[in-house]
Structure 1
Amino acid sequence: MPNPSRLRAAALTATAALLSAALAGCGGDSGGQDLTAQKLTWKDCPAPSQAQGGGDAPSPLPDGDEWQCAGMKAPLDWDAPEGDTIDIALIRARASGAADQRIGSLIFNFGGPGGSGVTTLPAFGEDYAKLRTRYDLVSFDPRGVGRSAGVWCENDQQLDAYFQQDATPDDAAERTEYVDSVKEFNAACEKKSEKMLPHVRTTDAARDMDLMRQVLGDDRLHYFGISYGTELGGVYAHLFPEKVGRAVFDAVVDPTQNSEQGSLGQAEGFQLALDNYARHCVSQEEDCPVGSSAQDVEDRIAQLLKDLDSEPIPGIFPRELTQTAATSGIAQALYSQDFWEYLTEGLEQAYDGSGEILMLLSDSLNGRNQNGEYSNLTAANVSINCADDKPRYTTEDVERKLPEFRAASPLFGDFLAWSMISCTDWAVPGAADHPDVSAPGSAPILVVGNTGDPATPYEGARRMVQALGEGVGVELTYKGQGHGAYDSKNRCVQSAVNGYLLEGRTPSAGTVCS
């Protein structure tokens, strides 16, 4: 079942892997100790837990250095900091350059919400080798995620059914079934994770980051936020403007939108990415195998989804590729231009009656590994979003908005409109209509928007700059495809970001890279 914010997840690593254990929970009473004085015990990293996605322990860095992991104690409830604590899982790679050139720690959040930074940072570690010359590279599992008191909802078998169901109901019976499934999922979250649900808001994670800054020994927070990580960074800047060091926001969430507006914006963004994919496919020297023109490509995809609605095809045994799973798989492939070839192969295969590749893509988006085990990506994503977002929508709200969503995207409109009811009957009230990121007095923050970004549309970057306030946000535009800019390896973008983070050189506002 799609949730619009889950479509911002940092799932690219899992996709690459698919295609080519015990959780830390609530601890004891803090005993009144000063958590800022705690000393971290860094050790070799274990293999990721199921909640983190499973797999092998991270491989050594290219220079032979090992990744190190530690746990940081944080208050369960920041409004009662003397009470119970939880463990926040951290990972780091020590700076590779001379000690006298080290700036401090550079903390990464790769998005979601719900993505494990402990597993994602090593997967992309080589991409940040330049930054590592002057920073310890650090990431973490935010509270509720992975090994950081991870929340749980339904089990693997229930989640298989959850993601197979029809998430774009066409009649009263299907609507009832869909709504009942959402209620069952949300009730399972409350039953299994009741103690954590009130304490996974983005404001809580931001306070964890400030504690992390102090425990790591930094006067200011140096930060690289991607996707939802830009929202977390903006909230941190609002709460602690005087503690912001050098910060970069890439693939920027629009902080001015409520959840309905965000879903509609994503419908437009994924439609744009699909249009770009279709045009790219037919522009190649070889014939596009999934259509003779861009419109033909999109028409054939629409027909495939219509056919799957009534008659699924074999996927990964024993599961079938349903309309919902196929739509999720297509969305996942649109995250990166590097995955467009997988989308073409998946569509070719589906037209021949097999849904294996599209199902692999769908599984990646939903946090399912090849052993049939789910990480807690979905549980954490829903829990964080529902704790953050105040609106609660009904089926009547969705039906009233469907024409607008369909106009924004014939392919993704229904899919994203119906996801708006994900927080209906949630056990914890949402905090606000949208996050407050105003940060007067903050150091400059480099805000990077990508014109072809499907999950966090380009317009969000400018609105983030405006919301941060005068003299804080510095906008950089990348004219490219995919979710994010720095990891596109565009030299102009990387030069601007590296120059700011390593040397403190702020690029001119309005700089454009292509």
Structure 2
Amino acid sequence: MPKSFRARAAALTASALLLPALLAGCGEDGDPGQDLPDQKLSWRDCPAPSEAQGGGPSPSPLPGGGRWQCATMKAPLDWDDPEGDTIDLELIRARSSGPADRRIGSLIFNFGGPGGSGVTTLPAFGEDYERLRTRYDLVSFDPRGVGRSAPVLCLNDRQMDAHFQQDATPDDDAERAELLESTKSFNEACADRSERILPHVRTTDTARDLDLMRQVLGDDKLYYFGISYGTELGGVYAHLFPEKVGRAVFDAVVDPTQDPEQGSLGQARGFQRALGNYAENCVSQTEECPVGDTAEDVKDRIAALLKDLDSKPIPGIPPRELTQTEALNGIAQALYSQEFWEFLTDGLEQAYEGDGTILMALSDSMTGRGENGEYSNFVPANVAINCADDTPRYTAEDVERSLPRFRAASELFGDYLAWGLITCTDWAVPGAAEHPDVSAPGASPILVIGNTGDPATPYEGTRRMVRALGEGVGVELTYKGQGHGAYDSGNECVRNAVHGYLLDGKVPPAGTVCT
């Protein structure tokens, strides 16, 4: 997902503005390592997720008794030195449910972030992909730096609580100094605890891991389903290995042409648009909207709540209080899916009565905090990957100059996203480029799906991805809906297009529109 809200405080993430780029000397298609492709994976029952993966129980069997299996793949720590040290990358799969003679190969998923654990996410959504499992093994992985794959670690859980309770939209010099110092402390902690992995978590590194994975899984081509940031990873892979692209779907598309500031500004517009859509929906219901009489009233009351929280937090999940920043996180999380709008309404109604429990729970979901107070490593990984990918290093003065444009884009989210630009200031590793190269001449058709109501990866980036991939590669499909992504909305038109392409090789007409 661009540098999206999903991780703020240390980075705006969850979705997609991450703009990486190619490492020098890594642009050619080629053998990623002399002996590594010959390794044989040892599949086993999956253990319970680690703290870095988010915790919880082992994945439940799929409908019909299909079970999840996990394995560990070796990959070079440094792809510029493929014969040097290695790291372990964690994989998960569910075997194809169809006849062996109908199996196409392994369909590899990346769900975005960057920083999300595919090993925990794929089982959570496994039933949604049952149709695809009729001809594919469903496979996902923890990218390098994530979950069980050489995870990036920074602050401890207690420090993370304090980090997310800080004021991320400073109003005066003292608050600005506090935010800058907090960001510096976070970044220094990452360097202290994760020095070995930080230089090697660029998207180009993960794209090379992806090609190694393709080989180890025994596929001649990569079959791929990328969501949010996963579309950027897929685009970088297609650039590096165009001849190895099989059938690929990009859903909730990252704009590959923008630098981090442009991406964050687009996201400000996207979340403001999604908030307006939520407000219109609430007041159009048969029953009275409990959080406002008109759409403008809904937005005004939310703005007033946030202003009050800036100076006077309210009780949240004990012993923590709901701050302005955490309320913004919670609102943003709810805008990721129309299914969450009812929780946003409940949370706002509750907060107006002085209780921040629901909004804080939504915020915790955004930042990877479990009910036991332990954090996954989503935020540290998100920051590390973004900062390794992105060249720009913004200063507080840069933010101050940009604030008028961000506020014009979004009264509610503008300051928050503008100040998120300082995330990579003083990061220990230089960034690779202003934006990724996804040009992929000669690659097979890639289905590129954009959702007109997507807050985190605004729809405008879909066509830019199609153009950047090159003539005859990107095939655009538009879904006129709400939320982040299209396939998981359940829209029959979108699903039929994806199934026809991935299962039967039928490329839908470019410009197809689903409503």
TM-score (norm 1): 0.95
Distance of 2:69 and 2:166 partners within structure 1: 40
Instruction: Give 1:175's aligned residue.
Output: 176
Post-superposition Cα deviations, 1:188-231, rounded to whole Å, max 9, x if no partner, equal 00000001000000000000000000000000000000000000
SS of residue in 1 equivalent to 2:140: strand
Instruction: Give 2:86's aligned residue.
Output: 85
Instruction: Give 1:8's aligned residue.
Output: 15
Distance of 2:10 and 2:339 partners within structure 1: 23
Matches within 5 A, 1:112-511: 112-511=113-512
SS of residue in 2 equivalent to 1:159: helix
Distance of 2:489 and 2:71 partners within structure 1: 30
C-alpha displacement of 1:274: 0.1
Instruction: Give 1:16's aligned residue.
Output: none
Gaps of 5+ in 2: 1-7, 17-32
Counterpart residue type for residue 466 of structure 2: V
Matches within 5 A, 1:94-105: 94-105=95-106
Post-superposition Cα deviations, 1:308-365, rounded to whole Å, max 9, x if no partner, equal 0000000011100000000000000000000000000000000000000000000000
SS of residue in 1 equivalent to 2:480: strand
372-381 vs 33-42, which deviates more? 33-42
C-alpha displacement of 1:33: 6.2
Instruction: Give 1:71's aligned residue.
Output: 72
> Does the alignment pair 1:47 with 2:54?
no
Distance of 2:200 and 2:511 partners within structure 1: 38
Distance of 2:441 and 2:215 partners within structure 1: 22
SS of residue in 2 equivalent to 1:195: coil
C-alpha displacement of 1:7: 3.5
Counterpart residue type for residue 115 of structure 1: G
Distance of 1:2 and 1:297 partners within structure 2: 26
SS of residue in 1 equivalent to 2:64: coil
Distance of 2:505 and 2:36 partners within structure 1: 31
Distance of 1:245 and 1:87 partners within structure 2: 26
C-alpha displacement of 1:66: 1.1
Partners of 1:4 and 1:262 within 8 A in 2? no
Counterpart residue type for residue 293 of structure 1: T
Runs of 4+ in 1 over 2 A off after TM superposition: 1-5
C-alpha displacement of 1:379: 0.3
C-alpha displacement of 1:3: 5.6
Partners of 1:4 and 1:416 within 8 A in 2? no
C-alpha displacement of 1:65: 1.8
Partners of 1:2 and 1:416 within 8 A in 2? no
Root-mean-square deviation (CA, aligned residues, Å) is: 0.8
SS of residue in 2 equivalent to 1:497: helix
C-alpha displacement of 1:56: 0.2
Distance of 1:65 and 1:395 partners within structure 2: 52
Counterpart residue type for residue 319 of structure 1: R
Question: Aligned residue pairs: how many?
Answer: 492
Counterpart residue type for residue 146 of structure 2: V
Instruction: Give 1:14's aligned residue.
Output: none
Distance of 1:175 and 1:394 partners within structure 2: 11
C-alpha displacement of 1:8: 1.8
Post-superposition Cα deviations, 1:17-61, rounded to whole Å, max 9, x if no partner, equal xxxxxxxxxxxxxxx960000000000000000000000000011
Distance of 2:39 and 2:267 partners within structure 1: 41
Counterpart residue type for residue 356 of structure 2: G
Partners of 1:4 and 1:266 within 8 A in 2? no
C-alpha displacement of 1:5: 4.2
Counterpart residue type for residue 181 of structure 2: D
Counterpart residue type for residue 107 of structure 2: L
Counterpart residue type for residue 513 of structure 1: C
C-alpha displacement of 1:6: 1.6
C-alpha displacement of 1:2: 3.7
